[in-house]
């Protein structure tokens, strides 16, 4: 079931990149980023209100864990910039390559208190397929 959720999230990310890129074409990168994040904030506030959840911050949580929002802004801006030049499919493919590399590093060293998952040589085959796919997408 969780694999289906992950696949669904992947489809949503692709749709999001297309919508954000189009909005960015019409309004510019920064204004569209503000609008997208404001819409996301409004959606989360609505969900919190419906579920009657309260927002709490804990002092014992390291500050860097709260930085994911800033990273999200950078992701949105870079996706909007690349969307016009290389298209949605290559933007997503290169993004997935970057995610794969980062996830291997995080898993291999257990960063961010994640479970340590050692790198094995079988994963190199996956990177080769991803890289070949990106090369083919770039050429054609």
Q: In sequence order, what are the residues at sequence separation of 6 or more whose Cβ sits closer than 8 angstroms to the Cβ of residue 35?
A: 23, 27
| pLDDT score for 49 | 95
Per the structure, the count of domains in the chain is 1
pLDDT in tens, 32-81: 999 999 999 999 999 999 999 988 888 898 888 888 889 999 999 999 99
Give the C-alpha distances (Å, rounded to integers) separating 49 from 36, 54, 55, 57, 80: 20, 8, 10, 17, 31
The backbone region for 61, taken as left when phi is positive above 0, alpha when psi lies in -120 to 50, beta otherwise, is: beta
Check whether 140 has a pLDDT greater than 80.
no
User: Per the confidence metrics, is the pTM higher than 0.95?
Assistant: no
Question: Please, which pLDDT band fits residue 30 given cuts at 50, 70 and 90?
Answer: very high
For residue 128, give its domain range.
Answer: 2-139
Picking from 93, 96, 86, 100, the residue whose alpha carbon sits closest to that of residue 21 is 86
């Amino acid at each position: 079931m969780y694999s289906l959720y992950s696949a669904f999230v992947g489809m949503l990310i692709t749709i999001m990149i297309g919508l954000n890129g189009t909005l960015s074409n019409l309004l510019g990168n920064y204004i569209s980023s503000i609008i997208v994040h404001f819409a996301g904030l409004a959606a989360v506030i609505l969900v919190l209100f419906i579920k009657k959840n309260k927002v709490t911050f804990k002092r014992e949580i390291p500050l860097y864990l709260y930085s994911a929002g800033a990273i999200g802004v950078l992701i949105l801006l870079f996706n909007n910039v690349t969307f016009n030049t290389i298209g949605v499919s290559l933007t997503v493919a290169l993004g997935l390559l970057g995610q794969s590399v980062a996830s291997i590093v995080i898993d291999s060293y257990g960063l961010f208190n994640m479970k340590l998952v050692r790198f094995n040589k079988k994963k190199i085959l996956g990177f080769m397929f991803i890289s070949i796919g990106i090369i083919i997408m770039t050429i054609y």
